[in-house]
């Protein structure tokens, strides 16, 4: 992997609760200002989109297939101050 | 009218009985001291202990009997015992009964089959507290059948619930998903799978509902999920027909309702509805009973602690006010610094605790007397898990933070 290349985690096998836990752990380990990227299913997207957007994260979602979404998530400025 | 109850089936340790005694003392001394006055009129039963299975041994053990005697000196406390299970184990409760004949009840109600049934007493009490009617009684099953007698207790409880005309919900979590395995064929005890299918028919005949929900994560881990549509519906070829494997969130949806949920070790505490209770401007989630999860087992030997925390996180994420108390052996989750090999995709329990500690609706607590008893201390990095003592535990159980319009609190032992 070259420097600066982002790891895209495939989290589509996780249940919604485990996904939330995994994301929180990944976000804690990510340096301030950096984003995490991951692939999820539609029902997982519905589960995480609102809770994270509401609590200080920028959430960008791209649909890449019928039931597959690529998500980029990072703490926004408001979230950084929390 | 019973206000609060404990349903205890697992072995009761001295430690557990002691903190239960302490929270009862908190209730009477701090919250309702008038009830302790000599001139106070005898009140209706406030606390009922429903005791079955191995928990019955505690009534005849030298180290626990004195604690039970103290508990029975408190006003308005009653113990209802499972006569059938007492007889099976050959346990004598005469000493306790002679001293407290009015408070120790060892004869159970009559079931429709003409035999006495402890579970009939349990569901009657659960139903007294149920609102609105017609009622539903839920049961959370965490253990597999046959290895554990709780599978049979579940069946008896659900059958009794149908007798009192309550609809029933069975929530299977962790090893509890094995209750729904197809083709069970025990030789020397009752067939749990068949028993559940019979209860479905019985409920239907009486115009009652019976839904069985099993956690998708737990079922997948145990090889039940043979087809997953990727949207939360899982079909299995190895479960009995009425069994539904669903995302944990679907089970948590049921916890947003106001019915009584029983289990192997649970408690139910009636709460005053918060003053903001109004038919207008009420968030639906505020009407869900607060859930308090007691993590009582060490973190890695079994799935209990991780399962409990996952359950709590799912509950909090869905907007239910959720309290987690690390107590008894559960405090081992908070001590030392846990390491899992580098590069693993899995996580240790302390990582999970640290990640979810600041979540909305979720509050984590460490019961200090359990740490002290083991002469261990909490990891300083676990600062988000708040230290509590006896008084604070009483407050959490009878005055959970944030208030609730549900009128009761669910306490589940993991």
Q: A21 at the B interface (CB within 8 A)?
A: yes
Residue B62 has a pLDDT of 92
Q: What is the CATH number of the domain that holds B131?
A: 3.40.1260.10
The answer for B148, left when phi > 0, alpha when psi is -120 to 50, beta otherwise, is beta
Provide the 10 A C-beta neighbour count for residue B357. 17
pLDDT interval class at B264 (50, 70, 90)? very high
Whether A59 maps to a domain, the answer reads yes
| pLDDT for res B133 | 61
For position B36, which CATH number holds?
Answer: 3.40.1260
Residue of A nearest to B314 (CA): A17
Select the more confidently predicted residue: B2 or B206: B206
CA nearest to B310 within chain A? A17
Residue B381 CA to residue A28 CA, distance in Å, equals 14
Q: Do B231 and A55 touch (CB under 8 A)?
A: no
Instruction: Average the pLDDT over each of A11-25, B98-112, B143-157, B179-193 and give the range with the smallest value.
Output: A11-25
Per-residue pLDDT averaged across B381-401, rounded?
90
Distance to chain B for A71, nearest Cα, Å: 17
Contact call for residues B285 and B252 (beta carbons, < 8 A): no
User: What average pLDDT does chain A have?
Assistant: 83
For residue B277, CA distances in Å to B255, B260, B273, B281, B323 come to: 19, 20, 7, 9, 21
* Contact flag A41-B231 (C-beta cutoff 8 Å): yes
pLDDT at position A25, please? 87
pLDDT at B345 over 50: yes
Q: How many domains does chain B have?
A: 3
d(CA B345, CA A72): 19
Q: Where are the alpha helices (DSSP H) in B179-258?
A: 192-205, 216-221, 248-255
Mutation choice for B interface testing from A17, A38, A46, A67 by most B CBs within 10 A: A17
Give the domain range for residue A61: 8-81
Is A3 domain-assigned?
no
Q: Could you tell me if A4 and A33 are in contact, meaning their C-beta atoms sit under 8 angstroms apart?
A: no
pLDDT at B310: 94
**What is the C-alpha separation between B131 and B258, in angstroms, rounded?**
7
Phi-psi group of B174: left, alpha or beta (phi > 0 → left; psi -120 to 50 → alpha; rest → beta):
left
Instruction: Kindly determine whether residue B247 and residue A67, on different chains, have CB atoms separated by under 8 Å.
Output: no
B70 exposed, middle or buried (CB, 10 Å; 0-12, 13-18, 19+)?
middle
Q: How confident is the model at residue B281 (pLDDT cuts 50, 70, 90)?
A: very low
pLDDT of residue B35: 74
pLDDT of residue B124: 92
Separation of CA B243 from chain center: 21
End-to-end C-alpha distance for chain B, whole angstroms: 28
How many angstroms separate the CA atoms of B172 and B254, rounded? Answer: 12
Helices (H), B138-183: 150-163
| Statement to judge: residues B334 and B264 lie in one domain | no
Chain A residues lying within 8 Å of B314, measured CB to CB: 16-17
pTM of the model: 0.90
Take residue B340 and report the two structure tokens written for it. 């899992």
> Does B210 lie in the same domain as B79?
no
Query: Is the pLDDT assigned to residue A67 strictly greater than 90?
Result: no
B126 with B242, same domain? yes
Provide the pLDDT for residue B134: 60
Quick one: pLDDT at residue B38? 64
Q: Cα separation of B369 and B73, whole Å?
A: 24
Question: What is the residue range of B409's domain?
Answer: 272-413
Interface of A with B in 22-61 (CB under 8 A): 22, 24-25, 27-28, 41-43, 47, 51, 55
Give the domain-ending residue among B247, B270, B293.
Answer: B270
- Residues whose CB falls within 8 Å of the CB of residue B148, separated by 6 or more in sequence, listed in order: none
- The reply to whether residue B317 touches residue A20, judged by beta carbons under 8 angstroms, is yes
Domain-located, residue A1: no
Q: Please report, for the domain that includes residue A48, its CATH number.
A: 3.30.110.40
Question: Does residue B266 share a domain with residue B119?
Answer: yes
Per-residue pLDDT, B287:
79
Q: Which residues pair with B4 in a beta bridge?
A: B47
Are B363 and B309 members of one domain?
Answer: yes
Our CA angle for B11, B308, B345, nearest 5°, is 130
Q: Binning pLDDT at 50, 70 and 90, where does residue B68 land?
A: very high
Same domain, B102 and B174: no
Q: Averaged over B139-163, what is the pLDDT?
A: 96
Residue B157 backbone dihedrals phi, psi, to 5 degrees? -65, -45
The answer to whether A20 faces chain B, any CB pair under 8 Å, is: yes
- Number of cross-chain residue pairs from A and B with Cβ atoms under 8 Å apart: 51
Q: Examine the domain organization and report whether B92 and B72 are in the same domain.
A: yes
Same domain, B297 and B256: no
Distance from CA of A22 to the nearest CA of B (A): 8
Mean pLDDT of chain B: 90
Cα A18 to Cα B82: distance, rounded to the nearest angstrom: 39
Number of structural domains in chain A: 1
A43 to B354: CB separation less than 8 angstroms, yes or no: no
User: ipTM of the assembly?
Assistant: 0.72
Neighboring chain A residues of B217 at a CB cutoff of 8 Å: 15, 17-18
Place B296 in a pLDDT band, splitting at 50, 70 and 90: very high
What the block records as the tokens of B159 is 């059958």
Residues of A in contact with B313 (CB under 8 A): 17, 20-21
Tell me if chain A has a CB within 8 Å of the CB of B227.
Answer: no
Question: Do residue A17 and residue B231 have CB atoms under 8 angstroms apart?
Answer: no
Token readout for B197 is 């299918």
pLDDT in tens, A30-58: 888 889 999 998 888 888 888 788 778 89
Spell out a b/e string for B127-156, using b for 16 or more CB atoms within 10 Å of the CB, else e.
bebbeeeebbbbbbbbbbbbebbbbbbbbb
Query: To the nearest 10°, the Cα dihedral for B249, B253, B254, B259?
Result: 140
* Cα gap B146→B185, rounded to integer Å: 11
CB B115 within 8 A of CB B151: no
Please report whether residue A26 resides in a domain: yes
User: Which is nearest to B296 in space by CA: B263, B332, B272?
Assistant: B332
Q: Choose one of B270, B296, B324: the last residue of a domain.
A: B270
* Partner-chain residue, chosen from B247, B347, B354, that has the shortest CB–CB distance to A16: B247
The three-class DSSP label of residue B60 is helix
Q: What is the pLDDT of residues B231-250, one digit of tens each?
A: 667 788 899 999 999 989 89
What pLDDT score was predicted for residue B278?
Answer: 43
Asked whether residue A23 is domain-assigned, the answer is yes
How close A2 comes to chain B (CA, Å)? 18
Residue A2 within any structural domain of the chain: no
What are φ and ψ of residue B61, in 5° steps? -115, 140
Residues B249, A17: C-beta atoms closer than 8 Å: yes
Instruction: Determine whether the interchain pair A51/B317 forms a contact, defined as Cβ–Cβ distance below 8 Å.
Output: yes
Residues of B in contact with A47 (CB under 8 A): 249, 317
Q: Are residues B308 and B180 in the same domain?
A: no
The strand ranges marked E within chain A are: 8-10, 36-40, 57-65, 68-75
| Last residue in a domain, options B107, B132, B155 | B107
Which of B217, B255, B355 to mutate: most A Cβ within 10 Å?
A: B355
* Predicted local confidence at residue B282, as pLDDT: 45
Task: Please determine, for residue B341, whether its predicted confidence score (pLDDT) is greater than 90.
Answer: no
By Cβ distance, the residue of B231, B247, B356 closest to A21 is B356
Closest residue of chain A to B357, computed from CA coordinates: A24
The answer to whether position A28 is within a domain reads: yes
Whether B371 and B281 map to the same domain: the answer is: yes
Per-residue pLDDT at A79 exceeds 80: no
Q: Which residues of B touch A25 (CB under 8 A)?
A: 347, 351-352, 355
């Amino acid at each position: 992997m070259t420097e600066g290349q982002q790891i895209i985690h495939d989290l589509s096998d996780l249940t919604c609760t485990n996904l939330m836990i995994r994301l929180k752990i990944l976000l804690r380990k990510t340096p301030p200002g950096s984003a995490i990227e991951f692939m999820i299913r539609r029902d997982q997207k519905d589960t995480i989109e609102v809770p994270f957007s509401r609590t200080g994260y920028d959430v960008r979602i791209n649909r890449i297939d019928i039931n597959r979404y690529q998500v980029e998530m990072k703490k926004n400025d408001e979230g950084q101050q929390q | 009218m019973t206000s609060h109850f404990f349903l205890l089936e697992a072995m009761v340790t001295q430690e557990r009985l002691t903190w239960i005694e302490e929270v009862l003392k908190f209730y009477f001394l701090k919250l309702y001291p008038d009830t302790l006055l000599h001139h106070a009129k005898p009140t209706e039963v406030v606390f009922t202990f429903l005791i079955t299975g191995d928990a019955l041994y505690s009534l005849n053990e030298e180290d626990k009997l004195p604690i039970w005697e103290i508990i029975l000196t408190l006003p308005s406390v009653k113990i209802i015992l499972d006569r059938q299970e007492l007889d099976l184990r050959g346990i004598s409760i005469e000493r306790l009964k002679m001293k407290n004949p009015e408070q120790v009840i060892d004869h159970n109600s009559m079931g429709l089959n003409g035999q006495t049934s402890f579970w009939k007493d349990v569901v009657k009490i659960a139903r007294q507290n149920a609102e609105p009617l017609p009622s539903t009684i839920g049961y959370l099953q965490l253990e597999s059948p046959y290895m554990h007698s709780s599978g049979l207790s579940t069946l008896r409880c659900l059958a009794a619930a149908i007798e009192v005309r309550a609809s029933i919900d069975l929530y299977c979590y962790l090893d509890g998903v094995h209750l729904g395995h197809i083709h069970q064929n025990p030789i020397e005890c009752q067939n749990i799978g068949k028993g559940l299918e019979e209860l479905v028919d019985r409920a239907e005949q009486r115009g009652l509902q019976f839904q069985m929900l099993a956690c998708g994560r737990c079922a997948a881990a145990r090889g039940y999920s043979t087809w997953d549509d990727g949207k939360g519906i899982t079909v299995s070829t190895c479960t009995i027909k009425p069994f539904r494997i669903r995302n944990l969130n679907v089970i948590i949806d049921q916890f947003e309702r106001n019915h009584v949920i029983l289990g192997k070790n649970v408690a139910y505490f009636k709460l005053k509805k918060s003053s903001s209770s109004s038919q207008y401007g009420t968030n639906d989630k505020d009407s869900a009973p607060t859930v308090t999860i007691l993590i009582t087992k060490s973190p890695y030997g079994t799935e209990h602690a991780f399962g409990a925390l996952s359950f709590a996180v799912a509950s909090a994420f869905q907007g239910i006010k959720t309290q987690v108390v690390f107590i008894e052996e559960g405090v081992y989750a908070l001590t030392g610094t846990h390491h899992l090999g580098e590069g693993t995709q899995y996580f240790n329990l302390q990582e999970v605790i640290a990640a979810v500690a600041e979540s909305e609706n979720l509050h984590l607590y460490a019961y200090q007397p359990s740490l002290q008893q083991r002469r261990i201390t909490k990891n300083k990095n676990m600062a988000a898990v708040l230290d509590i003592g006896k008084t604070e535990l009483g407050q959490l159980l009878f005055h959970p933070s944030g208030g609730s319009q549900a009128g009761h609190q669910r306490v589940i032992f993991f």
